[in-house]
Amino acid sequence: MEYSPHCHSTQPVKNKLFVFCIMLSLWVYMLYCCAGYCCTTPTFMMEERDSRNPPRPLQKQDLEMFLKSQSRDLLNNESDADSKGDGWEENKGDVVYDEDSGVAGALNGSETKKLPQAIIIGVKKGGTRALLEFLRLHPDIRAVGAEPHFFDRNYEKGLEWYRELMPETQEGQLTMEKTPSYFVTKEVPGRIHAMSKDTKLIVVVRDPVTRAISDYTQTRSKKPDIPSFESLTFKNITANLIDTSWSAVQIGMYARHLEQWLQFFPMSQLLFVSGERLISDPAGEMARVQHFLGLRREVTHKHFHFNPAKGFPCLKRPEGNSKPHCLGKTKGRTHPNIDPDVIQRLQDFYKPFNKKFYQMTGHDFGWD
């Protein structure tokens, strides 16, 4: 048999190639394992890292910035800081947005945008901003800060546009929004019903005379040259003829507006919150709201601190000694002095509307 050196020289090359393939396979496997470990890092570790370098909530801020650019007051055709979500002195997101749950949800991909299951539909100058911020303290509620005005101004843009304005929520969380002009806009009840007949509706109401004066005060702060409250209230003051076309007067005729809503929704799906009690007993009124929404009672007296200077309750966290967050300078304005005779005439005007409203809701708000 003839000897061939080529036969023997190829064997070491094959061995080296075999070892190289094994090493390459092990290296790829280790790289895969490392990548898999990073993706499955426990949430609490990621949250600790994010607390040092918190991510910018782009979607939330960008949407609120967009909404702030829209015109706000349907009935008075004026810009309203409250509708922009600007009614608090400090960054509301720092107080009410649960960053931990937001980070965890974003990491595990469990958050989605939903159409609101509950809406604060009114009324303007009733205390809707305060109620919304109180509700945003609840871990099971996510709400858009600015007023979307979808059902009264932007309805032609469609439900998907509306959905995109909503914050992302996890399973079991409730999506909410508030737009006070909904309650007095006749097309809105049918439109909300078309979206979902099961929508829960919340209306914050207060003494219609006080509400009208507050409404006027807000307008005058932006337009100091407007006529007096007295001259706007009456078509003919001598004949005692109230001008019901003026929005400040019209909004307070609650019974008339409620009739439109009861054509589409049963009374069991509407909750009427007392604006007066929301100030004097915020925890008690919040207990009613949480029960109505089917939520456990999380927002209690521990979350409130009354500020005598402002005349409003401020928000605080139950734990720690952090500074309470109060309503901003656009809230709690000093009302002008109104002729007592004009106030009495307005009270007499509203009495039959109030009486009917009490009967319809089964609750005496004590305004008369």
Report whether 125 belongs to an annotated binding site: yes
CA dist 368 → 79, 107, 126, 210, 280 (Å): 32, 54, 17, 12, 18
Report whether 206 belongs to an annotated binding site: yes
CA nearest to 177, candidates 126, 133, 112, 120: 120
Catalytic: which of 84, 92, 124, 125?
125
Rounded-to-integer distance, Cα 173 and Cα 113, Å? 11
Report whether 56 belongs to an annotated binding site: no
Rounded-to-integer distance, Cα 189 and Cα 273, Å? 19
Catalytic-residue membership of 125 = yes
Report whether 332 belongs to an annotated binding site: yes
Report whether 302 belongs to an annotated binding site: no
Report whether 284 belongs to an annotated binding site: no
Report whether 92 belongs to an annotated binding site: no
Q: What is the 3-state secondary structure (H, E, C) of 100-168?
A: HHHHHHHHHCCCEECCCCEEEEECCCCCHHHHHHHHCCCCCEEECCCCCCHHHHCHHHCHHHHHHHCCE
The rounded Cα 10 to chain-centroid distance in angstroms is 76
Report whether 335 belongs to an annotated binding site: yes
Report whether 49 belongs to an annotated binding site: no
Report whether 200 belongs to an annotated binding site: no
Binding-site positions for 3'-phosphoadenylyl sulfate: 125-129, 206, 214, 331-335
Q: Output the known binding site.
A: 125-129, 206, 214, 331-335
Catalytic amino acids?
A: 125
